[in-house]
Amino acid sequence: MKLQDMCRRIRSFLGSNDSYESAGIVLIGIPMDITSSFRPGSRQGPQAIRDASEGLEEYSPYLDRELNECPFYDGGDLALPFGNVEMCLQKIEEVTCLLLEDRKTPFFLGGEHLISYPVVKTLCRYYPDLVVLQFDAHADLRHDYLGEIYSHATVLRRICEVVGNNNVFQFGIRSGTKEEFSYGRSYTNFYPFELSTALDSCIPLLKERSVYVTLDIDVIDPGYAPGTGTPEPGGATPEELFKVIALLKGLQVVGCDLVEVAPTYDPGGITSLLAAKLVREEMLAFSSRFVSSEKHCL
Ligand SMILES: [Mn+2]
């Protein structure tokens, strides 16, 4: 099946290429929010982020790069069989596989955090040395949520099962059960309340590996990013995240996502705008790998 048959394109992200073939990064929206436990609505995230991107410049003064130096293609939103979690996860696996077969770097816009699971599950078949970096308010390490093992509250636990506990790095965590914190401290590279300083200390180790970055918008304080399903007071500033992204520049990022933007709770559209700016920064930071990426693919 072709990408165009799997996705719907409406309006594209700022600066998107018209050509899939010449793109390195492919942006795909995953409008899924089936397992959101507190406030649903993240299925509208991808389109709100695209709309907000129109207000940004294509040039990043943080990275001194411009989107036209980074050929990317916005493939639209994945068509999903709403209501059926397993089929949705299957579709996400299929589209990830298609992008990897075409030697693209997938960049997914959520949607709820569960979408990261099928993506990582697929990626680690192509990149056996994969590590996952999570930036999030929540540990997402529950074994199950009310008996359901596939949930946005269990997603990192499932990811630990596919890539191995030691290959998961968790930053900025400030919410979870006592058991989740204990699991994190014992089994993952667990940095609660810490972001750029902790990441900086991990960079030498991460340089040797293929990296997946999952960014939950709720890592940022709800004062800056209220438009999300489970806001958690006491979070990071946007500046801290720009610092984080600058540190990631130079790593072999083979895929990423930005999840949990829920426009219904977003007065003034400030969360979508911040998310769009983070997407721009990430694309510019991660595209540097294309210079040397060929040897690394498949
Ligand atoms: Mn979260």
**How many angstroms separate the alpha carbon of residue 194 from the centre of ligand 1?**
15
Do 28 and 95 touch, CB atoms closer than 8 A? yes
- Contacts (Cβ under 8 Å, ≥6 apart) of 120: 130, 132, 159, 162, 163, 212, 214
- pLDDT for the residue 295: 37
**How many angstroms separate the alpha carbon of residue 112 from the centre of ligand 1?**
9
pLDDT digits (tens, 9 = 90+) for 86-131: 999 999 999 999 999 999 999 999 999 999 999 999 999 999 999 9
Chain center to CA of 274: 14
| 43 secondary structure, DSSP code | G
Token readout for 278 is 């983070």
**How many angstroms separate the alpha carbon of residue 13 from the centre of ligand 1?**
24
Calpha distance 291→270 (Å, rounded) = 34
Do 254 and 211 touch, CB atoms closer than 8 A? yes
**How many angstroms separate the alpha carbon of residue 161 from the centre of ligand 1?**
19
Calpha distance 246→257 (Å, rounded) = 16
Least Cα distance to 13 among 291, 282, 238 occurs for 282
Q: Which residue has the tokens 């130096």?
A: 69
Helix, strand, coil share (%) of the chain residues, nearest 5? 45, 20, 35
Q: Is 246 exposed, middle or buried (0-12, 13-18, 19+ CB in 10 A)?
A: middle
**How many angstroms separate the alpha carbon of residue 171 from the centre of ligand 1?**
11
Could you list the pLDDT tens digit for every one of the 298 residues in the chain?
Answer: 899 999 998 899 999 998 999 999 999 999 999 988 888 999 999 999 999 999 999 999 999 999 999 999 999 999 999 889 999 999 999 999 999 999 999 999 999 999 999 999 999 999 999 999 999 999 999 999 999 999 999 999 999 999 999 999 999 999 999 999 999 999 999 999 999 999 999 999 999 999 999 999 999 999 999 999 999 999 999 999 999 999 999 899 999 999 999 999 999 999 999 999 999 999 999 986 544 444 343 3
**How many angstroms separate the alpha carbon of residue 287 from the centre of ligand 1?**
26
C-beta neighbour count of 135 within 10 angstroms: 28
- pLDDT for the residue 10: 84
pLDDT digits (tens, 9 = 90+) for 144-184: 999 999 999 999 999 999 999 999 999 999 999 999 999 99
**How many angstroms separate the alpha carbon of residue 20 from the centre of ligand 1?**
31
The whole-chain average pLDDT of the chain stands at: 94
- pLDDT for the residue 201: 98
* Terminal alpha carbon distance of the chain: 20
**How many angstroms separate the alpha carbon of residue 216 from the centre of ligand 1?**
5
**How many angstroms separate the alpha carbon of residue 260 from the centre of ligand 1?**
7
**How many angstroms separate the alpha carbon of residue 230 from the centre of ligand 1?**
7
Do 191 and 171 touch, CB atoms closer than 8 A? yes
**How many angstroms separate the alpha carbon of residue 298 from the centre of ligand 1?**
31
Each domain of the chain, given as residue ranges in start order, spans: 3-286
- pLDDT for the residue 289: 52
**How many angstroms separate the alpha carbon of residue 183 from the centre of ligand 1?**
17
Q: For residue 283, give the 3-state DSSP assignment.
A: helix
Fold of 3-286: Arginase; Chain A (3.40.800)
C-beta neighbour count of 51 within 10 angstroms: 17
For the chain, percent of residues with pLDDT exceeding 90: 91
**How many angstroms separate the alpha carbon of residue 218 from the centre of ligand 1?**
5
**How many angstroms separate the alpha carbon of residue 222 from the centre of ligand 1?**
11
